[in-house]
Structure 1
């Protein structure tokens, strides 16, 4: 997941925005493919950050 976060940041997003974008994609995939919800959660949890940055982009 770090590679994806880095790629999003290279495209101009802040770290917080990149993590939020990944979270949005995760939720979208779970809604569209509910049968795979558990697998999607495990995938994102396994490769996701242990501590997400603060949502400083909302200020």
Structure 2
């Protein structure tokens, strides 16, 4: 999660606190658009960000 906060901070030119708040807002927005049975997966995914190794940009499956 720290890596995501850092990327948002650098790209948007905001503080770490502002970046964390922005990420939280995005997470809440995504959860609000999903059925309740899937919304919990968003929390799991975001919490998993803190435990995953850094990937190369070439490995980005969402590109």
TM over 0.5: yes
Structure 2: state its 5+ residue gaps.
Answer: 51-63
Higher RCO, Cα 8 Å, sep 6+: 1
TM-score (norm 2): 0.63
Q: How many residues align?
A: 48
Query: 2 CA distance for matches of 1:9 and 1:21?
Result: 10
- Give CA-to-partner distance per residue, 1:8-35, whole Å, 9 cap, x none: 1112110000000010010000011134
Instruction: Name which one, 1 or 2, has greater alpha-carbon Rg.
Output: 2
Runs of 4+ in 1 over 4 A off after TM superposition: none
TM-score (norm 1): 0.67
Structure 1: state its 5+ residue gaps.
Answer: 49-59
Q: Does residue 48 of structure 2 align to residue 46 of structure 1?
A: yes
CA RMSD across the alignment: 1.5
